[in-house]
Amino acid sequence: MSGTTRTDAGADIEVVTTELDPDVRVIQDTPGFAGAVAGFRRRLAQGELGNLPVLLGIAVIWTVFQLLNSRFLSPVNLTNLVLQIAAMGTIAVGIVLVLLLGEIDLSVGSVSGFTAAIMAVLNVKNGWPAVPAMLAAIVAGLLVGALQGVWITKLRVPSFVVTLAGLLAWQGALLYVLGGTGTVNITDETIIGLTDTFFGKTTSWIIAVVIVGAFVGLSMLNRVRRQRVGVPLVAMRTTVFRCFAVGVVVVGATIIFQRDRGLPLAAVIFVGFVFVFDVMTRRTRFGRHLFAVGGNAEAARRAGISVDGVRLTVFILCSGMAAVGGILAASRLLAVNQSSGSSDLLLNAIAAAVIGGTSLFGGRGSAWSALLGALVIGSIANGMDLLSVQSSVRFMVTGAVLLLAVTIDAVSRRGRASAGRA
């Protein structure tokens, strides 16, 4: 990056002035170990450590449960863990988008059950093929999101109230669609195969190589694009470390899955949505507009961004992801019934997004929050089930973890505000 640089006396930072705007100064860590340590301390104080705290939390949770039960980290149990969180995590991906706006969607659980019921009734009772039935369910979810989004953006009714009403209304729609039977058993192999298909060794490694290659390629492309426009770059060592870490995780997961039944299709679907939404939010114009609206809606409006358009699109996508999650849940349970989408699904989806690092205050977070948060919640539930711990304890522990995540977010937000004033 071209530009002028000065190093503050007694500080391990560099203040860089870019050619694009000499008045814009960007703080960067100085090279070397001392600069790296100082940068870590600064990011810790300002709550800018990204996903590191969540990753450390997952490591602690897995270590504790492995010590208490040696089966926890077995390939069989880890595969089951991924299957258990796929539906909830997919719904959480949509929740992340809503939270980035500083809004909330309380209807996703009911929408997932309602749309799954549409799929089941069309497939089982009306004889529709699996693919058209699933597409109809997803379209229904998108329409639900459009209806609620219009109510929020055009009538200016708070999202909390609109989606709370949706929670009740779509639960009633679920009961109506199911009719008097109350339960529809799914036997179609295509639908069941969403969570009962496992890829062999060759296909699994091809998928792993594609994932790692795509991550490395996008990381390098991002560096080139930032360098081309004179935007400060992340340290090369950081980029290399991220690529290496992703490679280790992907290779390790592939090895573990191969020691059981193989790579689950449900995991590919879940991670695929996370990857696509991450690219959409971080590397597209819509994503930039999304963060702008979540950070300061009035400033975004004055900058010419269609705030209502962004909000409407987000609520449509959120309900669409709820529909996909409902389909995955129905596939795993082999049925849709009156309790589909209820219980703690809604709260777990929201908790996953927040625990994974998405701010409740808007403007901060990523699609990967859904994956990491789902792993935290799923690991707690799975580990306690192995230990035969009562559900009451599991709920209390999950609630405590959620409160801790929100507290860290609030403290970090104050730290960033203080740094900004300084």
DSSP 233-270: PPPHHHHHHHHHHHHHHHHHHHHHHHTTT-EEHHHHHH
For residues 44-63, one letter each, b for 16 or more C-beta atoms within 10 angstroms of the residue's C-beta and e for the rest, the string is eebbbbeeebbbebbeebbe
Determine the pLDDT at residue 335: 94
Determine the pLDDT at residue 11: 40
pLDDT at 309 over 90: yes
Q: Is 379:61 a contact under the CB 8 Å cutoff?
A: yes
Mean pLDDT of the chain: 85
**What confidence tens digit (pLDDT) does each residue in 321-356 have?**
999 999 999 999 999 999 998 878 999 999 999 988
Determine the pLDDT at residue 48: 58
pLDDT at 210 over 50: yes
Q: Tell me the average pLDDT across 119-134.
A: 95
Domains belonging to the chain, first-starting first, are: 1-45 (no CATH), 46-200+262-421 (1.10.3470)
**What confidence tens digit (pLDDT) does each residue in 49-96 have?**
567 788 888 999 999 999 999 999 999 999 999 999 999 999 999 999
Q: What token pair was written down for 141?
A: 């979810």
What residue spans of 155-235 are helical by DSSP H? 159-178, 189-196, 201-228
Torsion of CA 208, 213, 214, 220, to 10 degrees: 150
Q: Is 406:373 a contact under the CB 8 Å cutoff?
A: no
Determine the pLDDT at residue 213: 93
Query: How far apart are the C-alpha atoms of 326 and 112, rounded to whole Å?
Result: 4
Q: What token pair was written down for 50?
A: 């990204």
pTM given for the model: 0.86
